[in-house]
Structure 1
Amino acid sequence: MTAVAPEAATERIARVAASDVLLVALDFDGTLSHTVDEPMSARMIPAARAALGALAAAPRTHVALVSGRSLADLRVIAEHDDASPWHLAGSHGIEYWHPGESGVEGAPTSEETATLDQLADTAEGLVADLDGAWIERKSFGFGVHTRLSEPDAAAAAQQRVDDLVAREAPDWRRRTGHDIVEYAFREGGKDDAVRRLADRVGATAVVFAGDDVTDEDALRALGPADLGVRVGAGETAAAVRVGSPEELAALLQHLADARG
C-alpha cells in the first residue's frame, strides 16, 4: 500500500469519524512528541494534547497511548495522572492502565526483575567504554541507545549486548527501532495491544498512528474499517502519511471536529 497525504485521505478520515465506537490509539515518541536525545525529556506537543483532549471528550470515542516505554516512564512523559481518560499500554502492550481502575495490569514478578537487573548491570559494563552508548532499563527488559554514538561505537555496543543476551537469555525477544535495540523477557506487540484495547472498548473502528518499525506490527494488523497513519519516512502499511507530529496533531484535530 502507498500511503497518501492527509489532504488525499478526506474520505478515509470521514469514514472512521462516522463509526459507532472509535478507538484512537497512538504511539508517543516521534508521533505525539519530537524524538529527543534524552528520552525522559520528551513531552507531547501542545497541539497534540489539545487534539487528544477533544477526541476524549467526543461521543463514544476512546483514546489510548501505545508505547514501547515502560508504563511508569510513559506516565511521566505523557504527564498522565489517575484522573486521565486515556488508556495506556506500555512495554509494547505487556502492561496496561485503564481509566477508573486502580493498579497496573501485567506487572513483572520478583524473579523476572532479578534476572533483568543482573543482565542490565552486565550490559552497562559492556558499553561503558563506548561514547554515546547507554542502557535504558524498562519493566520487562532493557534497551541499548546509540543515538549519540558514532557508527562504529553503535555497532560495537549492539554486538556486545547481542552476544550477552544470546548467551544468557536466548529466549528474550529482540526489537530494533530508531537508534535503539530492545530486549524483553515477555512477548508483546503493539498489534496485540491495539487489538486488546479495541476489544475492551467495543470499537467498531480504530485509528492508529506511529513512526517506527515496531509500529508497523499494529499498522499491518488494522482492518478495512480502520485507519493507519505513518509519521515520517520509511516503508509502511499505513494508508496515510504525515511529515511530523504537528501534521499528525492537525489530522487528529480534524478527526475530533468531525467526530464531535
Structure 2
Amino acid sequence: MEKPYPPLKELPDALALLDERFNLKPDNLPVLFLDFDGTLAPIENDPEKASLPAEVKDTLVKIKQAGLHVAVVSGRDRADVARKVGLPDLYYAGSHGFDISGPGGFHDHLDAAVEMLPELDEAEASLKKQLSGVKGALVERKRFAIAIHYRNVADTEVDKVREAVEAEKQQHSRLKMLGGKKIYELKPDVKWDKGQAVLWLLKRFEVDKESTPVFYLGDDLTDEDAFRVLGGKGLGIIVGPDGRETEADYALEDIPAVHLWLKKLLEKLP
C-alpha cells in the first residue's frame, strides 16, 4: 500500500521549525537547495519577466559567505536561471537537473540527454507549428527540455495545447511528458530528475544526507522528486497555497514567507 501523504495545509510551518527547535552546528552546516519560479521569484505570465528580488539576492550572498553549499534547482535552462539569480558562487541545476554548473567554471551534463537533442529539436519545431494558431500558447525551448506554457491560453483552448503535446510525445518515444503549474514539458525519458540531481550534488559536496541537515524548498510537481529522495532525512519544504498531497515535510505559505525563512536561517547560522 502506498504511503498516504498529507495535504499541504496540514503540514507544520517551516518558520516554526527555525523558531522553535532547530539548532545548527559550526562543524555540520546545512545544504540548501532552492527552486526558482514560485519559490524565490513570483511566477510571471511571461517567463522572461521573472526576477530575483534584490533583498533575497543579498540574503543568499550572506548565506553562501557563511559557508553553506547552495544550489538552485530549476526547470529553466541552466544558463537562464544562472543569469536571473546572478550569483557565480552558487551551483545551478537547470532543465530539472540535466545540466549542472558551479563555482570555478565547473559544468557537467547527462550524456544520455545530449543524445536526444535532435528529437527535442524536431518536437520543438512541430509544436511551434501546431500551436501557432492558439492565442497565448508559448513554446519555450531549453537545451534539454521543451516547456509549453498555457497560462495565457483561454480555458476553451487548453485541451488543444494538451492534445498537441500528447500527440508529439507519441511521435517521440524517447521523450516523456510532465505537467506543472500551467505548463506541460517534454524532456528526455531517462531516469533523471530534480531528485537525482540533488543526490548527485550531495555526493559532489561530500556530505551525507543521513547526518547533514539538507533543506529543499520548491513549489511545483517536479519538486516532489526531490522531496521523495530526501525521504525524511532531509527536510522538504513546499511553498504556496496548493492543496495537493505532497511528500514535503514542512510548508511555507508564499514567496514572502520563503524570504523570511531565508533571513531566519541566516540568523541561526553559527
Relative to the length of structure 2, the TM-score reads: 0.86
Equivalent residue for 1:209? 217
Selected match of 1:70 from 77, 80, 84: 77
Deviation of 1:225 (Å): 4.0
Residue 178 of structure 1 aligns to which amino acid in structure 2?
Answer: K
The answer to whether the Cα contact below 8 Å between 2:169 and 2:176 also exists between their aligned partners in 1 is no
The answer to whether the Cα contact below 8 Å between 2:18 and 2:265 also exists between their aligned partners in 1 is no
RMSD: 2.0
* SS of structure 1 residue aligned to 2:76: coil
- Where in structure 1 do 4 or more consecutive aligned residues deviate above 6 Å? none
Structure 2 residue 53 is matched with structure 1 residue 49: no
Structure 2 residue 98 is matched with structure 1 residue 91: no
Equivalent residue for 1:189? 193
Selected match of 1:179 from 177, 182, 187: 182
Larger relative contact order, structure 1 or 2 (CA cutoff 8 Å, min sep 6) = 1
Query: Aligned runs of 1:1-260 on 2, under 5 Å?
Result: 1=6, 2-10=10-18, 14-15=22-23, 17-18=24-25, 20-59=28-67, 61-80=68-87, 84-106=88-110, 109=114, 112-166=116-170, 168-187=171-190, 188-203=192-207, 204-234=212-242, 235=244, 236-260=246-270
Provide, for residues 67-111 of structure 1, a one-character-per-residue CA deviation record: whole Å limited to 9, x for no partner: 01111221222224xxx21011111111110111344434764x6
Deviation of 1:63 (Å): 0.5
Deviation of 1:52 (Å): 1.2
Deviation of 1:4 (Å): 1.4
Mean Cα deviation higher: 230-239 or 118-127: 230-239
Deviation of 1:215 (Å): 0.6
Gaps of 5+ in 1: none
Gaps of 5+ in 2: 1-5
Cα distance change, pair 4–206 in 1 and its aligned pair in 2 (3 A): same
- Residue identity over aligned pairs, in percent, reads 27
Deviation of 1:191 (Å): 0.7
